[in-house]
Amino acid sequence: MKVKMAGSHFALLLLVANVCLALEDGTFTKTLRMPDATPEHSDALLCHAVKMEDDPTYIVEYEPHVSAEIAHHMMLYGCEEPGSTHEMWNCEETRGGGRVCADGEAQDTRQVVYAWALDAPAFNMPEDVGFRVGGRTRIKYIVLQLHYKNKLPAGDTDSSGVTLHVQRKQPEFQAGFYVLGTWGAVPPHVNDYHMETACEYTDSSPMYPIAYRTHSHSLGVVTSGYRIRNNQWTEIGRMSPQRPQMFYNATTPGMSVLSGDFLAARCTMTSHRDTVTKIGATNADEMCNFYIMYYTGRTDDLTVQWCFQQNYHWKEHFYGIPDKASSLDGIPVSDDDVMDHHVHSHE
């Protein structure tokens, strides 16, 4: 893939791309945009890195500038060092491209900072919650990754991206991500096929889910997530991944996740295809992901937590599985539902 690169001028390009505007309330904005990207085939993955501040700062709002007509999804990843010193690079890791982060693809090295798809709107953190980046954290750089739908017409370029609203003052609570997902495949000609995962939460510090985001490709019907405590299931969220893949309010405000609880997710898939659809990166593949955005009173640097299983079945480990786990019954979708975030008293 040919993209515009200028490795020897990397520092200068970072200064140009790293657009910061101070606001009256003490926060500032930092806009990250693809530098005239030219994806040359469908499902291209291109990356662009921006250096964070030398002092720790806290993201309190994400404002996307991207269209579902252009991109399948957009991700922000945090790295100690980016996977390339070029202005922009091919980061199709599963198909021979470069890495997102220079230190490889181990799940404890690449941090989730933001995820977007299907024309999701801006997202605001609750009051007194922020996502820490920069300073002495492991997120020295943010890598903007675009998964493009198609090759652009001749002469067209893309500058999709996101504006981060950032503050220097340390908030009372720190935000983090817990990501549940599955490996495996979806058989041909199936209805209501379940891909399931669950892991025990072992951190001594409680976490409090703020919001959730579902992600599948074209076969996903419903994705749901739960906290299981003493075989009692409490819903974190349920949504169709065919709706805007934004962060929706957690279904149960103020719920806690304590050491010894389990976090579980299910993706319900329907396939009319004649062949097996494997989990993978392209739109012809599938994905089963359930993102939990949470806050915690921990003051140390957080890293993304992962729970991925293959050929895992809830019924072999738990009982009392909710009847609505594969249903959208009772799920409203409104501006208030997706934008009204608060720090609640805890359950």
Task: Report, in this order, helix, strand and coil percent for the chain, each rounded to 5.
Answer: 5, 45, 50
* Per-residue tokens: 206: 């409680």
Q: How far apart are CA 158 and CA 154, in angstroms?
A: 12
Q: Is the pLDDT of residue 27 over 90?
A: no
CATH 2.60.120.310 at 7-171, yes or no: yes
CB 194 within 8 A of CB 268: yes
pLDDT of residue 26: 72
pLDDT digits (tens, 9 = 90+) for 182-191: 999 999 999 9
* Per-residue tokens: 163: 């504006």
Q: Is the pLDDT of residue 66 over 80?
A: yes
Q: What is the mean pLDDT of residues 106-120?
A: 78
Q: How far is CA 157 from CA 37, 38, 45, 151, in A?
A: 5, 5, 14, 10
Q: Is the pLDDT of residue 58 over 90?
A: yes
Q: Is the pLDDT of residue 9 over 60?
A: no
Residues involved in catalysis: 72-73, 145, 147, 215, 217, 287
For residue 138, give the nearest of 173, 165, 176 by alpha carbon: 176
Q: What is the mean pLDDT of residues 10-31?
A: 60
Q: Is the pLDDT of residue 5 over 80?
A: no
Mean pLDDT score of the chain:
86
Q: Is the pLDDT of residue 267 over 90?
A: yes
Q: What is the mean pLDDT of residues 162-190?
A: 96
Pairing of strands 161-167, 28-33: antiparallel
pLDDT digits (tens, 9 = 90+) for 283-338: 789 999 999 999 999 999 888 899 999 999 999 999 999 999 999 888 765 444 44
Q: How far apart are CA 324 and CA 291, in angstroms?
A: 19
pLDDT of residue 187: 97
Q: Where is the binding site for Cu(2+), in residues?
A: 72-73, 147, 215, 217, 287
pLDDT of residue 269: 97
Q: What is the mean pLDDT of residues 217-240?
A: 95
* Per-residue tokens: 10: 């990397």
Q: How far is CA 225 from CA 241, 263, 305, in A?
A: 13, 7, 15
Q: Is the pLDDT of residue 2 over 90?
A: no
CB 46 within 8 A of CB 36: no
Q: How far apart are CA 277 and CA 112, in angstroms?
A: 26
Residues of the chain with CATH 2.60.120.310: 7-171
pLDDT of residue 14: 39
pLDDT digits (tens, 9 = 90+) for 231-258: 999 999 999 988 877 788 899 988 999 9
pTM of the predicted protein model: 0.80
* Per-residue tokens: 138: 């492991």
pLDDT tier for residue 104 given thresholds of 50, 70 and 90: low
Q: Where is the binding site, in residues?
A: 72-73, 147, 215, 217, 287
pLDDT tier for residue 105 given thresholds of 50, 70 and 90: low
CATH 2.60.40.420 at 177-339, yes or no: no
* Per-residue tokens: 72: 């399948």
pLDDT of residue 20: 62
pLDDT of residue 109: 66
Residues of the chain with CATH 2.60.120.230: 177-339
Q: What is the mean pLDDT of residues 132-154?
A: 93
pLDDT of residue 191: 95
Q: Is the pLDDT of residue 172 over 70?
A: yes
pLDDT of residue 4: 37
Q: How far apart are CA 52 and CA 331, in angstroms?
A: 38
